[in-house]
Structure 1
Amino acid sequence: MSEQDYQPPKVWKWNQDNASAWSKTNRPIAGPTHEKSLPQGEHPLQLYSLGTPNGQKVTILLEELLAVGVTAAEYDAHLIRIGEGDQFSSGFVEINPNSKIPALLDVSETPPVRVFESGAILLYLADKFGHFLPEDRAGRTEALNWLFWLQGSAPYLGGGFGHFYHYAPVKIEYAIERFTMETKRQLDVLDRQLAEHRFIAGDEYTIADIAIWPWYGNLVRNDQYGAAEFLDVGSYQHVQRWAEEIENRPAVQRGRKVNRTWGEPSEQLHERHDAADFDTNTEDKRGK
């Protein structure tokens, strides 16, 4: 039966025998699949993540905080291999009942505070340490406008465009057209904003930039989905200018490596437990 002939049944049923590439990451029920405690390191913040765009948001902010001297932002970044179902362990579900990376445990608080959803983690850390979020009401609100814009828009880019253009086993014209249209609209939204401002929310670098760059910065720098030519990303000149400026920040270069398990070995730091790990434990240096 072709895709065009498919008709949904009256009641959907889960085919558990489907051994697709997504069978370990997607299921229609919540809760743990197995008992396993999460590891804990020595630092105040324990991060459980993978170096996807959502994971990069948090590690970039943590590295930015350390770069401005916030020693209390020291962290251990533990690798969660979502393709192997690590996010469904009992320990992970205890921190994030939604079983999605990233998840953060702040053990400096009594009792420890769990924070899940990447946008919530950025806001929590910015508020806790007093950096990368304006103090005045208008500036804070504008930064949060764009933080929540990203949280609502990125699923169209990732789960929509990225899935159907890059990952889906069948190329469905309707789906690709639908999500390409929306992705280009979003890029135009950003381009118009950045035509008038150095950074997303104004003249100040904030968690709005840190949230948006891993998705849209990587996209226009052709580090995501291999879709730069297809989307004509060069036409978004202001997004390109902004993306390059953010990419050149040393903290961004460090943060995007953390919990990354693909790409050049020098760009992969599977786990981060000390600042020295960037010099000694990337995949091109381990064991040497």
Structure 2
Amino acid sequence: MSQSIYIDETPDDVKNAKGLHLVTQSTPNGQKVQILLEELKDKYDLKFTTTVIDISTNEQKKEWFLRLNPNGRIPVLIDNNQSPPFPVFETSAILLYLVRNYDPDYHFRFKDELQLSQANQWLIFWHGSGAPYQGNTNFFRRQAEQIPFAINRFRNETLRVYEVLEIQLSGRYTGVERDYLAGNGKGRYSVAELGTWPWVKGWKNTGFTDEELAKFPHLLRWIDRVAAREAVQRGIGAAYQKK
């Protein structure tokens, strides 16, 4: 145990954990990593444990958490297989860490450098564009003081990002419709989906209408395709609700 990582106030289930341990809440960002861990469990019988916190209480702003992630955001992964234990924060960084270290058969990543680059492009595209736009749409819609300019700005940008995903999945400029965002041909399920789907699936909660999303038929089918995976349903399921 590294004293620079854990302190007396660190919850026992965190500092006494073995192997991989995830501190999370089942938000879209938490679900990205929850789903990948469930996928790795199916493929490799990967063992991991979790601590579910309530971010509405600012638990993630306490010193014990900030020692793991100075940014004070969930999720954070601690790899106790490393010595000393190694914390990883930022969802895209966690996804890439997990597939590099715990996916030796390349189920959720690519061996080919160009396909790997393509997957990373879509992962980073959503991390840098989609999540901030959709997150800010949610934030401003829920405020008591409504600011129409801000709501419309982030709402329109989120729809624009959905259109970018639709372009890729529809093969508008390639002539090849795709099942997944990255990979040759129709693509292959990968970290590109894991980094994007947990946010996009919540389009109704963001306030978009059926009529608006009807403009993105390939995106809607992609949402359903990813949702059909058993590990995906477990990764957003009851096991990750705070008891």
Q: Same fold (TM over 0.5)?
A: yes
Q: Which residue of 1 aligns with 2:158?
A: 183
3-state SS, counterpart of residue 168 of structure 2: helix
Tell me if structure 2 keeps the 8 A contact 1:37–1:89.
Answer: no
Tell me if structure 2 keeps the 8 A contact 1:35–1:89.
Answer: no
Q: Which residue of 2 aligns with 1:173?
A: 148
**Please, which runs of 5 or more residues in structure 2 have no aligned partner?**
1-6, 172-177
For 1:126-205, what aligned pairs fall within 5 Å after superposition?
126-130=99-103, 131=106, 132-153=108-129, 154-158=131-135, 160-165=136-141, 167-196=142-171, 197-202=178-183, 203-205=187-189
For 1:61-100, what aligned pairs fall within 5 Å after superposition?
61-68=36-43, 70-71=44-45, 73-100=46-73
TM-aligned CA distance change 1:231 to 1:116, over 3 Å:
farther
Q: Of the candidates 231, 236, 246, which is equivalent to residue 216 of structure 2?
A: 236
TM-aligned CA distance change 1:42 to 1:87, over 3 Å:
closer
Supply the distance in 2 between the matched residues of 1:231 and 1:123 (Cα, whole angstroms). Answer: 35
Structure 1 position 231, deviation (Å): 7.2
3-state SS, counterpart of residue 138 of structure 2: helix
| 1:37 aligns to 2:21 (yes or no) | no
Could you report, residue by residue, the CA deviation over 1:169-219 in whole angstroms, capped at 9, with x for unpaired residues?
A: 122111111112101100100011011221011311100101100011232
Query: What code does the residue aligned with 1:65 have?
Result: L
Tell me if structure 1 keeps the 8 A contact 2:75–2:90.
Answer: yes
CA RMSD across the alignment: 1.9
Q: Of the candidates 51, 56, 81, which is equivalent to residue 26 of structure 2?
A: 51
For 1:8-47, what aligned pairs fall within 5 Å after superposition?
36-38=9-11, 39-40=13-14, 42-47=17-22
Tell me if structure 1 keeps the 8 A contact 2:133–2:155.
Answer: no
**Please, which runs of 5 or more residues in structure 1 have no aligned partner?**
1-33, 258-266, 272-282, 284-288
Supply the distance in 2 between the matched residues of 1:145 and 1:89 (Cα, whole angstroms). Answer: 33
Supply the distance in 1 between the matched residues of 2:240 and 2:93 (Cα, whole angstroms). Answer: 24
Tell me if structure 2 keeps the 8 A contact 1:134–1:140.
Answer: yes
Supply the distance in 1 between the matched residues of 2:179 and 2:195 (Cα, whole angstroms). Answer: 16
3-state SS, counterpart of residue 67 of structure 2: helix
Structure with max Cα Rg: 1
Could you report, residue by residue, the CA deviation over 1:135-182 in whole angstroms, capped at 9, with x for unpaired residues?
A: 110011000001111110111110x211112x1112211111111210
Supply the distance in 2 between the matched residues of 1:194 and 1:114 (Cα, whole angstroms). Answer: 34
3-state SS, counterpart of residue 77 of structure 1: strand
Supply the distance in 1 between the matched residues of 2:76 and 2:86 (Cα, whole angstroms). Answer: 11
Tell me if structure 2 keeps the 8 A contact 1:43–1:74.
Answer: no
Tell me if structure 2 keeps the 8 A contact 1:147–1:208.
Answer: yes
TM-aligned CA distance change 1:108 to 1:268, over 3 Å:
closer
Tell me if structure 1 keeps the 8 A contact 2:52–2:240.
Answer: no
Q: Which residue of 2 aligns with 1:15?
A: none
Give the aligned length: 222
Q: Which residue of 2 aligns with 1:27?
A: none
Structure 1 position 78, deviation (Å): 0.4
Structure 1 position 256, deviation (Å): 0.8
Consecutive aligned runs of 4 or more in structure 1 exceeding 4 Å deviation: none
For 1:81-120, what aligned pairs fall within 5 Å after superposition?
81-120=54-93
Structure 1 position 270, deviation (Å): 2.5
- TM-score, normalising length: structure 2: 0.86
Could you report, residue by residue, the CA deviation over 1:38-58 in whole angstroms, capped at 9, with x for unpaired residues?
A: 333654111111000000000
Supply the distance in 1 between the matched residues of 2:77 and 2:164 (Cα, whole angstroms). Answer: 31
Q: Of the candidates 190, 198, 204, which is equivalent to residue 206 of structure 1?
A: 190
Tell me if structure 1 keeps the 8 A contact 2:25–2:240.
Answer: no
Higher relative contact order (CA 8 A, sep 6+): 2
Query: What code does the residue aligned with 1:270 have?
Result: Q
Query: What code does the residue aligned with 2:20 have?
Result: L
